[in-house]
Amino acid sequence: MDVSTLSIIGILLSLVFIIVLALKGWHIILIAPLAAVIVALFSSMDIMPTLYGPYMKGFVNYAGKFYLLFLAGSLFGKFMEDSGAARSIAEGILKVIGRKSAIAAIWAAGIIAIALTYGGVSLFVVVFVMIPIARPMFKDLNIPWNLFAISFAVGIGSVTMTMMPGSPQILNIMPTKYMASTPMAAPALGIIASILVLIFTHIYILYAVKQYKTKGEGYVAPAGVGMVSVADVSLEKLPNFWLSIIPLIVVIALLNVFKFDAVIALCAGALVCFIFFFKNFPSILDTLTKGAVNTVIPIVNTCADVGYGMAVAATAGFKVITAWMLTLPMHPIVSLSIATNIMAAITGSASGGLGIILETLSAKYLALGLSPELIHRVSTMSAGCFDAMPHNGVVITFLAIAGLTHMNSYKHIFFAHIVTTLITLIIVIPLGIMLY
């Protein structure tokens, strides 16, 4: 058996290794380097040079790019929580949706996230913003907290990330750098796909709510620290709802209107929160300290996973897989979708998988006469399907921030993200072939 074949086997075994152990409750900080060792062994790569080389390069590069964002996001969330502003927003939403419908609460959290991401707020930023708002709602309505994973999946993981035309999210922008397309590419296809995902998600929400009620489950405070806890704030002492949303508006405006860096926008939001509600903070030093310390686990989790992806990308098997994708015997747009899904699944990253496909294959698919708009929309949607594997960086970050685990929450992400998007892809790709 040649080196490339063994390398491919090693990549597949490492993926199985990560998925099985993650679902059994193992921590990604342990799993990721062990998976990189498996990759190295099967690819005839020396273990320590692989760990100190590609693995740690990916680890350190990610920390260098995103540590300050995680820190600023954690501080903003902690300021919103300790001031009572997050609870006030939750109470305002509950007045509109009522206190009886779990379905409405799950959708409320998801729709707010959709609005934020379509407004251009980074996926990571939205996670930090949403959790302190959503958790009080779930607690008050006695909804199992792990069902928030459904709101997360639909809110930031599919519709606005890859489908809705005009979305400013990075995945919808990337193809425009490689072909004559715009963020509005294939608008009819994107709108149809968005509607289908929302319908399929609603069906799953109905099922999930019925299941937890049948089992008699309810809200339980998540184990572990998480990034945002639920403070026991007296409802009589909550700040005004309209004042409470101003820090959110500041963050969104600075990001999208004034084009400030996300770190500056989040820090500004935290500062505005403090200025408005400084009397509500028992100890500003305690808020700052806890917000800063809570940054550590999520950033290290994600760095560990990115390091694994870099180790995989350095193998001979990875290069063979990339080359093989062009030879798939089917309609080119179908093979493009499959290739993008495979690459996103292997790398555990929608942007990473799409970036590889666009860099290596987009010109070749354009040369086959495919519409740039169709390539844009299908490749983007495909990148946002099997990217949500257990080792996906955003999934790991979300679970860590929310105080959830793969064991109690990943099934919701799998069905509300991967399954809904996959069914949608199967429906819309034939439509795309006919329309474009």
Predicted confidence (pLDDT) per residue in 168-221, tens digit: 677 787 788 788 888 888 899 999 999 999 999 999 999 999 999 998 888 887
Residue 108 pLDDT more than 60? Answer: yes
Three-state secondary structure call for residue 421: helix
Please name which of 259, 257, 294, 254 lies closest in space to residue 271, comparing C-alpha atoms. Answer: 254
Predicted confidence (pLDDT) per residue in 263-314, tens digit: 888 899 899 999 999 888 888 888 888 888 877 776 787 788 778 878 888 8
Q: What is the pLDDT of residue 38?
A: 95
| Distance of alpha carbon 19 from alpha carbon 146, whole angstroms | 19
On the CB side of 48, CA atoms within 13 Å amount to 0
Determine contact, residues 266/251, Cβ cutoff 8 Å: yes
Determine contact, residues 308/35, Cβ cutoff 8 Å: yes
Q: What is the mean pLDDT of residues 321-345?
A: 81
Place of tokens 């990189």: 36
From 2-11, 109-118, 232-241, 331-340, the region with the lowest mean pLDDT: 232-241
DSSP letter for each residue of 278-321: GGG-S-HHHHHHHHHHTTHHHHHHHHHHHHHHHHHHTSHHHHHH
Determine contact, residues 165/184, Cβ cutoff 8 Å: yes
| Distance of alpha carbon 315 from alpha carbon 11, whole angstroms | 9
Q: What is the pLDDT of residue 359?
A: 72
Determine contact, residues 218/144, Cβ cutoff 8 Å: yes
Rg (CA), the chain: 22
Top mean-pLDDT range of 29-33, 89-93, 148-152, 228-232: 148-152
Length of the chain: 436
Q: Which residues of 377-396 are buried (b: 16+ CB within 10 A; e: fewer)?
A: bbbbbbbbbbbbbbbbbbbb
| Distance of alpha carbon 125 from alpha carbon 111, whole angstroms | 16
Three-state secondary structure call for residue 356: helix
| Distance of alpha carbon 312 from alpha carbon 119, whole angstroms | 34
In the chain, % of residues over pLDDT 70? 92
Residue 190 belongs to domain spanning: 3-435
Predicted confidence (pLDDT) per residue in 62-91, tens digit: 788 778 877 887 788 788 878 888 778 777
DSSP letter for each residue of 47-64: HHHHIIIIIHHHHHHHHH
Q: What is the pLDDT of residue 49?
A: 93
Alpha carbon separation from 28 to 12, 138, 229, 305 (Å, rounded): 17, 27, 22, 7
List for the chain the helix, strand, coil content (%; round to 5): 75, 0, 25
Q: What is the pLDDT of residue 121?
A: 63
Q: What is the pLDDT of residue 225?
A: 46
Confidence of residue 116 (pLDDT cuts 50, 70, 90): confident
What is the distance, to the nearest Å, from the Cα of residue 383 to the centroid of all Cα atoms in its chain? 12
Ramachandran angles phi, psi of 324, nearest 5°? -65, -30
Q: How would you classify residue 223: left for phi > 0, otherwise alpha for psi between -120 and 50, otherwise beta? A: beta
**From the CB of residue 232, how many other CB atoms can be counted at a distance below 10 Å?**
6
Q: What is the mean pLDDT of residues 369-389?
A: 90
On the CB side of 308, CA atoms within 13 Å amount to 33
Place of tokens 């007296």: 234
Q: What is the mean pLDDT of residues 150-157?
A: 88
Residue 382 pLDDT more than 60? Answer: yes
Sequence-separated (6 or more) residues with CB below 8 Å from residue 202? 107
Determine contact, residues 111/155, Cβ cutoff 8 Å: yes
Angle 200-205-208 (CA atoms, 0-180°, nearest 5)? 125
Rounded to the nearest integer, the mean pLDDT of the chain is 83
Q: What is the pLDDT of residue 325?
A: 67
| Domain count along the chain | 1
| Distance of alpha carbon 217 from alpha carbon 143, whole angstroms | 8
> How large is the angle between the packed helices 28-42 and 3-23, nearest 10 degrees?
160
